[in-house]
Amino acid sequence: MKLFLVAGEPSGDRLGAALMAGLQQLAPEVEIAGVGGNAMAAQGLRSLFPMERLSVMGLAEVLPRLPELFALRDRTVRAVLDAAPDALVTIDSPDFGLRVAAKVRAANPAIRTVHYVAPSVWAWRPGRAERMARSIDHVLALLPFEPPYMEAAGMTCDFVGHPVVAEPRASEDEVAAFRARHGRTALVLPGSRGGEIARLAPVFGTALRRLPDGVRPVVPTLPHLRERIDDAVADWPVKPVIVDRPSRRRAAFAAADAALAASGTVSLELAANRVPMVIAYDMAWFSRVVLSRLLRVDTVTLVNLVSETRAVPEFLGAACKPGPVGDALARLLTVPSLREAQRDALDMTMDRLGRGGEAPGLRAARSVLARIEA
């Protein structure tokens, strides 16, 4: 059995590595080729080219790179066709992966195609599912409510669980040490992209003026973002603790009393650690207007969507102002009943995402093998 996997960014690389581990457990004879990063390399993949060549974000950054990206796409398509695998699995990165799948499907319809991570058609642009169905047979979904959307578009789909349920957690000793050093803490998470940090850090910093006495802000980040974060928080009225080492970051999440975070998957990382949160997000004016007209849901917070509650307060677009955001965070830190009520929704979210069950990578592998054998 042969599979060809294509990941284009770090999140997809991690998903791909977990999928490879699951495949090797269930079908040790499987041969895997493709494109991936360090995590997939650790599972034995020899990448066709360095995955980092695909990690480009933003229109201004993409345009000069288009000739190279088209060349990498065509090189990947040729490699898939030459390998003639039982299935092509594209992982996240739809702008690249789905274009590869479309060209492979056109050249050799016998190769089965799987896409890992369903597009968020439940939130906006539902037509993406129909377009994807032209070249994709089967979808691996991270969220439990996604399969019906994919199936309605003509693809098969399995919910395989979200990787957040399998991520490592801080030990009790690490949590105790963090609390002993810093006391009560509130996490502040203004995003991971340059534009997000530039827009949200001033709002979040001003909101911290409402922080109750005795609560210390903590900003978890990643080493490559440390300098940007240092600059962004330099003018905050309350000096935060910044943590960028993985072990300390895990301890910060596990020890926090509450969090103020940008919208995104970080809400699930907070949920996994039972950290009550306030979500706030804003974008450029034009993008805000366009997205407000396209949105098909009344909340963008994944905890609210998965738990089918509206337990997490969110301040989006024009509502993303320091005063209301700071007040909501202060209430969460000073009213224990609000924190406990939200934790019920956090626990429900994690259970629905697959906590306590088979690891998502193993479930994904089982789903891919079942599709090939069907």
Does 41 score more than 60 pLDDT? yes
| CATH architecture of residue range(s) 172-352 | 3-Layer(aba) Sandwich (3.40)
Domain ranges of the chain: 2-161+356-373, 172-352
Q: What is the Cα gyration radius of the chain?
A: 21
Beta strands in 190-271 (DSSP E): 215-220, 241-243, 258-261
3-state secondary structure of 109: coil
287 against 339, higher pLDDT: 339
Residues with Cβ within 8 Å of 16's Cβ and at least 6 positions away in sequence, in order, are: 5, 7, 34, 36, 39, 40, 45, 89, 91, 116
Residue 25: per-residue pLDDT: 97
pLDDT of residue 105: 97
Q: Is the pLDDT of residue 332 over 90?
A: yes
Rounded CA-CA distance 207/186 in Å is: 12
Give one DSSP letter per residue of 122-176, joined into a string. Answer: TTS-THHHHHHHTT-SEEEESSTT-HHHHHHTT-EEEE---GGGGS----HHHHH
Collect all residues with Cβ–Cβ distance below 8 Å to 121 and sequence separation of at least 6: 127, 128, 129, 149, 153
- Binned at pLDDT 50, 70 and 90, residue 287 comes out as low
Whether 172-352 and 2-161+356-373 are alike in CATH topology: the answer is yes
Q: Return the half-sphere exposure (C-beta side, CA atoms, 13 A cut-off) of residue 112.
A: 18
Query: Where does the pLDDT of residue 57 fall: very low under 50, low under 70, confident under 90, or very high at 90 and above?
Result: low
Q: Tell me: the pLDDT tens digits for 220-233? A: 998 989 999 999 99
pTM comes to 0.88
Nearest residue to 277 via CA among 332, 212, 353: 332
Would you state the CATH architecture of domain 2-161+356-373?
Answer: 3-Layer(aba) Sandwich (3.40)
